[in-house]
Amino acid sequence: MENLEQATAQGDLAGQPSVQQGHALDQVHEIVLSGCSPIPLANYLKALGILRLVAEQADPSARGFWRNDAFVLLTRLDAEALQRFFLEEYAPTPVLAPWNGGSGFYPGDNQSGIGPIENGAAARLARLRDAIATIRTVLRRRGLEAKPEGDAKSALLAELRAELSDEALAWLDAAVVLTEESPRYPPLLGTGGNDGRLDFTNNFMQRVVAVIDPTTGQAQEKTKALLGLALHGEARPGIPSAAIGQFAPGTAGGPNQTAGFDAKALVNPWDFILMLEGALLFAAAATRRLEHSTGGGLSYPFTVRSTGAGSGVAALSDEANARAEIWMPLWETPTTLTELKVLLAEGRVTLGRRPVRDGLDFARAAAKLGVERGISGFQRYAFLMRSGKAYFATPLNRLAARRNRAGDIIDELDADGWLSRFRQFCRSDGSTRLASLVRRLEDALFALAGTQGKDPLAVQRVLVILGEAQRYLATSPKAREACPPVPQLSARWATQANDRSQEFDLAAALASLHALRQREDGSTRRVLPMRIHLAPEKLDLEHKHRQPAWDEQATHQVTWGAGRLEDNLIETLQRRLLEAERLQLVDKPFAFDHAASASAIAAWLEGRLDHARLEALVPGLMLVRIPRLASSTTETVPLPAAYRLLKPFFCTDAQLREVKLLSADSQLPLRADFIRRLMAGRTAEALDLAVRRLKAYGVAAELKGLRRGAADFPDGRRLLAALLVPLRDDDLKGLLPKPDPMEEQKNEGV
């Protein structure tokens, strides 16, 4: 789309000369069509129909765009001339479907529309009459007196394609796509131009007769006033009762549509006519872009398989009976009919190199597509079975099309096909638990795609559910056969999820824990990432592009269960110490990429944070390569004396040397007796043991006063879990009181 200036009644289209007032046919007018809105689908298609008809039959330079949920038409016609065009000049497109029962071409069909048109003389309806005559000839030649089926239907469609005029072919191309196997039906127009027993074409002709006298071509007096309602939403009495089908659920009639028990379907005949005229714009794209997508669906402009997530309106149970989803583009730049046709004809949406398959794929791809093609947003519709077996074009959510960095991180879930494979497995398994899990994941991904990546909590919600998914995969051999592990996620996930909260600070620090194993050449290698405790994996972080894979021999490394966070962390601590011994690591397995603030640790120990949130965040963040993150605060707060005495044992010797608590050749081992005492709640014994060992291993600190102030910590298991959280160097430096020089000299003299 071109970047054109918006024209007003006093302005001009870009590149066109200014004209004096009074020359109505040369001046460009901005007409706000309040009766044309993105919802319902009938009103959206009506806007496209108005632009198409005006551009083809009255003003080739006409342009249109969306503003404030209304369609704006830029045209040389003023508002009065626009109405006069539709009332006096508009020539309907041949919209005919002799392949359908109820189309008007067979005995027993409703003849109230086709009959008067066929027998009339109005010049405006000549194209319709000619197309009807051509179809009658073809039907007689084929000896058809009833709706054809099977091969007879395919043969009729093929002959109609050869015989009909270009104007009449527009509808055939919109409603039916001929393939080598059998006709296919784009969902926008039901099953070949009908919805159940409602034939759109016969109703179209009935509505044409309602607004145009088939004999004289003049506007029918009783429906003149309804044109203003169709264009501008002006209130008018006397809307007739008639069916509109799937396009406007609110006026389709039925139970609970009015104050009584039941309501008749009401439709403005102009709405119905202009709606189908707009649907014709999808014709060329359907024939030119014939191909099959996954699941046997037809590739059609902005149309994908339905996803029962992301809106709160549909459910996973709707997917089986839904026809499809269609994402109708919205644009804010004045656009010609030719430009709009190009947009719709190229309405193929891709994720990377593959076409999008469903609504979630489309939500992820919409941002890039919109940026590239001048689209400002999409109104999402699903053709869902409602009110018995009738289909309604149900409006779901609307998505802005802006560059979305959230889409980049979601793309990482496609590694090894994980996201599509997991979604497919959850749907095929039949488990209520899995159905709930995948619905929550899809809802969270829809929400994340709509935030442009600027909402840390939206990223966190996805991570929490990914952690649950990995935990489920860990417990189900059947699931592991169907799906690989959740991919190793990049640091961008952590950066975008960081809301500077203490809960996130702690969770990220725990998730970043790993160990370093020394190679023969003196270099080190990362081992024991936290995610191996979530599910049985083999993971080589030395290769940045290699994704984790299942290792059924590694189940002994899995420690994370459904219990409390403290219990899981203690199990993990014990396993890490055993693995460190097995791998003969030279240092404790407490290396880290991100360290939490002392204030966050103090808040956890004192019970001042959202424990459930912390517990939910840790597994998801285990799947992320955690970078060094901005901390929740730089504030220094006092930590309990019990924590301060014990923390050095839960730090790597390398960190203790870095902050000068250990000399260059010293070590401070962590032994199992510490852990047993804390697990049993015998913190006083653990503290006494800590003082003795700190002295024995030469830790440079004054410990007597600190031990005297260290009360027994009331929750030994929480204390033990908190000791596993990496602590920043600056906070570690001030953790233990510095030794008294006078006391050192006295001891040296002795």
Q: What is the pLDDT of residues 31-52, one digit of tens each?
A: 999 999 999 999 999 999 999 9
pLDDT of residue 242: 55
Q: Which residues pair with 29 in a beta bridge?
A: 75
Q: What pTM did the predictor assign?
A: 0.83
Most confident of 75-89, 407-421, 538-552: 75-89
Most confident of 94-108, 319-333, 380-394: 94-108
pLDDT of residue 20: 31
pLDDT of residue 7: 34
Phi-psi sector, 403: left (phi>0), alpha (psi -120 to 50), beta: beta
What average pLDDT does the segment 282-298 reach?
Answer: 46
More confident of the two residues 378 and 357? 378
pLDDT of residue 747: 45
Phi, psi (degrees; rounded to nearest 5) at 236: -140, 140
Among 112-126, 231-245, 421-435, 505-519, where is mean pLDDT lowest? 231-245
Q: How far apart are CA 713 and CA 487, in angstroms?
A: 40
Q: Which residues pair with 72 in a beta bridge?
A: 32, 65
Assign 618 to helix, strand or coil: helix
Residue 96 has pLDDT above 60, yes or no: yes
More confident of the two residues 221 and 2? 221
Give the confidence band of 3 by pLDDT, cuts at 50, 70, 90.
very low
pLDDT of residue 536: 95
pLDDT of residue 459: 95
Residue 303 has pLDDT above 80, yes or no: yes
Hey, what amino acid is at 62? A
Residue 697 has pLDDT above 50, yes or no: yes
For 54-108, the DSSP string reads HHHHT-TT-EEEEETTEEEEEESS-HHHHHHIIIII--------TTSTTSSSSTT
Note the pLDDT tens digit of each residue in 722-732: 999 999 998 99
Among 289-303, 336-350, 527-541, 575-589, where is mean pLDDT lowest? 289-303
What average pLDDT does the segment 449-456 reach?
Answer: 78
Most confident of 83-87, 172-176, 367-371, 517-521: 83-87
More confident of the two residues 521 and 431? 431
What average pLDDT does the segment 289-305 reach?
Answer: 57
H/E stretch holding 118 reads helix 114-119
Number of residues in the chain: 750
Contact 596, 631 (CB under 8 A): yes
Residue 198 has pLDDT above 90, yes or no: no
Q: How far apart are CA 203 and CA 679, in angstroms?
A: 78
Tokens of 74: 């830029």
More confident of the two residues 506 and 197? 506
Residue 589 has pLDDT above 90, yes or no: yes
What average pLDDT does the segment 103-130 reach?
Answer: 95
Q: How far apart are CA 139 and CA 156, in angstroms?
A: 8
pLDDT of residue 507: 97
pLDDT of residue 707: 79
Assign 266 to helix, strand or coil: strand
Residue 183 has pLDDT above 70, yes or no: yes
**What is the signed CA dihedral for 228, 234, 235, 240, rounded to 10 degrees?**
30
How far, CA to CA in Å, does 154 sit from each of 94, 106, 148, 421? 20, 18, 9, 37
Give the confidence band of 233 by pLDDT, cuts at 50, 70, 90.
confident
Give the confidence band of 545 by pLDDT, cuts at 50, 70, 90.
very low
pLDDT of residue 452: 65
Q: Euclidean distance between the first and final Cα of the chain, in Å?
A: 89
pLDDT of residue 460: 96
**Shortest CA distance to 153 belongs to which of 140, 142, 167, 162?**
142
If you compute the radius of gyration of the chain from its CA atoms, what whole number of angstroms results? 35
Q: How far apart are CA 694 and CA 662, in angstroms?
A: 10
pLDDT of residue 602: 93
What average pLDDT does the segment 695-707 reach?
Answer: 81
Give the confidence band of 106 by pLDDT, cuts at 50, 70, 90.
very high
More confident of the two residues 185 and 269? 269
pLDDT of residue 54: 98
pLDDT of residue 299: 61
Contact 372, 342 (CB under 8 A): no
What average pLDDT does the segment 90-101 reach?
Answer: 95
Whether the ω angle into residue 484 lies within 30 degrees of 0, i.e. cis, is: no
Residue 84 has pLDDT above 90, yes or no: yes
What average pLDDT does the segment 407-426 reach?
Answer: 92
Token look-up 């809802």 returns 443
pLDDT of residue 19: 30
What average pLDDT does the segment 186-214 reach?
Answer: 90
pLDDT of residue 748: 46
pLDDT of residue 522: 73
Per-residue b or e along 161-170, where b marks 16 or more CB atoms closer than 10 Å to that residue's CB: eeebeebbbb
**Shortest CA distance to 93 belongs to which of 191, 192, 171, 8?**
171
Calculate the average pLDDT of the chain: 84
What average pLDDT does the segment 9-20 reach?
Answer: 32
**Shortest CA distance to 623 belongs to which of 489, 428, 485, 456?**
489
Give the confidence band of 2 by pLDDT, cuts at 50, 70, 90.
very low
The secondary structure of residue 697, as a DSSP letter, is T
Residue 147: how many other CB atoms lie within 10 Å: 18
How far, CA to CA in Å, does 58 sit from each of 25, 51, 72, 83, 339? 10, 10, 17, 12, 17
Tokens of 425: 């497995």
Give the confidence band of 80 by pLDDT, cuts at 50, 70, 90.
very high
| Burial of 84 (C-beta count, 10 Å sphere; 0-12/13-18/19+) | middle
Assign 681 to helix, strand or coil: coil
More confident of the two residues 179 and 466? 466
Residue 291 has pLDDT above 70, yes or no: no
Most confident of 90-99, 286-295, 315-324: 90-99
Whether the ω angle into residue 40 lies within 30 degrees of 0, i.e. cis, is: yes
Hey, what amino acid is at 620? G
Among 18-32, 252-266, 462-476, 657-671, where is mean pLDDT lowest? 252-266
Within 8 A by CB and 6+ apart from 552, the residues are 477, 536
**Shortest CA distance to 654 belongs to which of 675, 644, 668?**
668
What average pLDDT does the segment 61-80 reach?
Answer: 96
pLDDT of residue 387: 55
Residue 360: how many other CB atoms lie within 10 Å: 25
Give the confidence band of 284 by pLDDT, cuts at 50, 70, 90.
very low
Hey, what amino acid is at 247? F
